[in-house]
A and B are shown apart, each in its own frame.
Chain A
Amino acid sequence: MRKKHWIVLLVFGLFVLACKKDNPLKEEIEKFLGFQKPSNFPEPVYKFANNEVTKAGFELGRALFYDPRLSRNNTISCGSCHIQSAAFTQHGHDVSHGIDDRLGTRNSPPIMNLAWNKAFMWGGGVYDLDLQPITPITTHEEMDESLDNVLNKIRAVPKYTVMFKQAFGSEEVSTARFMKALSQFMLMCVSSNSKYDQVMRKEGAVFTADEQAGYLIFKDKCASCHSEPLFTDGSFRNNGLGTSAVNDQGLYAVTLIQTDRYKFKVPSLRNLKYTAPFTHDGRFLSLDGMLEHYNSEVKDTPNLDPLLRKNGRLGIELTNTDKVKLTAFLGTLNDEAFINDKRFSEQ
Chain B
Amino acid sequence: MKNTNIIIATLLSVLSISFAGCSKKDNPAPEFQETNLAPLSIEFDNIVGARTFTLNNTGSPYKNAAGEEFTISFLQYFISNIKVETAAGKSYTVNPDSSYFLIKGADKASRFASVKVPEGDYTKLTFTLGVDSLRSTMPIDKRTGVLDPAAGGDHENGGMYWGWNNGYIFFKYEGNSKVISDDANGDPTGKKQFKYHIGFFGGYTVPTINNVKVITLDLNAAGIARVRKDRASNVHLFVDLMKVFNGKKPFSIAEHPNVMFNDFSSTVAGNYADMFKHDHTEN
In the complex the two chains form, is B263's CB within 8 Å of A146's CB? no
Which of B210-235 touch A at CB < 8 Å? none
A322 interface contact, C-beta 8 A: no
Chain A contact-residue range equals 20 to 34
Bitwise, B99-131 to A at CB < 8 A (1) or not (0) is 000000000000000000000000000000000
Interface range for B: 20 to 34
- Is the CB–CB distance between B164 and A127 below 8 Å? no
Residue of chain B at shortest CB distance from A259: B206
Interface centre among A50, A130, A137, A256 (most CB of B within 10 A): A256
Question: Chain A interface secondary structure, helix, strand, loop or mixed?
Answer: helix
Known: A138-B154, A146-B153. A125 touches B208 (CB 8 A): no
Please pick, from B139, B140, B150, B206, the residue contacting A257 in the complex, using a CB distance under 8 A. Answer: B206
Q: Which residues of A contact B19 (CB under 8 A)?
A: none
Bound-state CA distance A248–B91 (Å) is 48
Bound Cα distance A59, B141 (Å): 20
Tell whether, in the assembled complex, residue B139 and residue A47 are in contact, meaning their CB atoms are under 8 Å apart.
yes
Chain A residue nearest to B147 (CB atoms) is A175
Question: Which listed residue, A148, A175, A179, touches B152 by the CB 8 Å rule?
Answer: A148
Check A147 against B149 for contact (C-beta < 8 Å). yes
In A117-151, the 8 Å CB interface with B consists of 118-119, 121, 125-128, 130-131, 134-135, 137-139, 146-151
- Asked if B28 CB lies within 8 Å of chain A CBs, one says no
| Residue in contact with B166 in the complex, picked from A47, A125, A175, CB distance below 8 Å | A125
On whether the beta carbons of A134 and B161 are closer than 8 Å, the reply is yes
Is B95's CB within 8 Å of the partner chain A?
A: no
Asked if B163 is at the interface (CB within 8 A of a chain A CB), the reply is: yes
Contact A146 B154 (CB under 8 A): yes
For B177-217 the 0/1 string (1 means CB < 8 A from A) is 00000000000000000000000000111101100000000
Q: How far is the CA of A127 from the CA of B159 in the complex (A)?
A: 20
How many angstroms from the CA of A137 to the CA of B148 in the assembled complex? Answer: 15
Are A127 and B205 within 8 A (Cβ)?
yes
Asked whether A97 is an interface residue with its Cβ less than 8 Å from the other chain, the reply is: no
Q: Which of B144, B148, B163, B209 contacts A138 (CB 8 A)?
A: B163
Judging by beta carbons under 8 Å apart, are A180 and B140 in contact?
yes
Cα distance A127–B141 when bound, in Å?
16
CA distance A146 to B151 in the complex (A): 10
Q: When the two chains form the complex, which single residue of A121, A128, A139 contacts B139, counting CB atoms closer than 8 Å?
A: A128
Is A255's CB within 8 Å of the partner chain B?
yes
Interface centre among B139, B163, B261 (most CB of A within 10 A): B163
Q: Does A176 contact B (CB under 8 A)?
A: yes
Q: Which residue of B lies closest to A260 (CB)?
A: B206
A135 to B161, CA, bound (A): 10
Residues on B with beta carbons closer than 8 Å to the beta carbon of A118: 205
Least CB distance from A238 to B in Å reads 16
For A176, give its contact among B140, B208, B261, B263 (CB under 8 Å).
B140
Is B203 within 8 A of A131, CB to CB?
Answer: no
Contacting residues, chain B, for A179 (C-beta < 8 A): 140
Given contacts A127-B205, A256-B262, contact A149 B153 (CB under 8 A): yes
- The proximity string for A residues 137-181 relative to B, scoring 1 for CB distances below 8 Å and 0 otherwise, is 111000000111111000000000000000000000011100110
A131 to B139, alpha carbons, bound, how many Å?
9
Closest chain-B Cβ to A130's Cβ sits at a distance in Å of: 4
The answer to the question of B3 belonging to the interface, with a C-beta cut-off of 8 Å to chain A, is no
B150 pairs with A128, CB closer than 8 A: no
The distance from the CB of B197 to the nearest CB of chain A, in whole angstroms, is: 14
CB distance from B164 to the nearest CB of A (A): 5
Determine how close the nearest CB of chain B comes to the CB of A154; give it in whole angstroms: 11
Are B163's CB and A134's CB within 8 A?
yes
- Rounded to whole Å, the gap between the CB of B17 and the closest CB of chain A is 58
Query: A338–B123 Cα gap in the complex (Å)?
Result: 64
- Once the chains bind, are B149 and A125 in contact (CB under 8 Å)? no
Q: Which residues of A contact B60 (CB under 8 A)?
A: none
Residues of B within 8 A of A119 (CB): 205
- Give 1 or 0 for each of B131-162: 1 = CB within 8 Å of chain A CB: 00000010111011000111111100101010
Given A125-B165, A149-B153, 5 extra CB contacts under 8 A: A128-B139, A131-B140, A146-B159, A151-B150, A180-B140
The 6 closest A-B CB pairs, nearest first, are A134-B163, A146-B154, A147-B150, A125-B165, A130-B140, A127-B204
* A-B contacts, 24 listed (Cβ < 8 Å): A50-B141, A121-B164, A125-B164, A125-B166, A126-B163, A127-B204, A131-B140, A131-B163, A131-B166, A134-B161, A138-B163, A147-B149, A147-B150, A148-B150, A148-B152, A148-B153, A148-B154, A150-B150, A151-B150, A175-B143, A175-B150, A254-B164, A256-B261, A256-B262
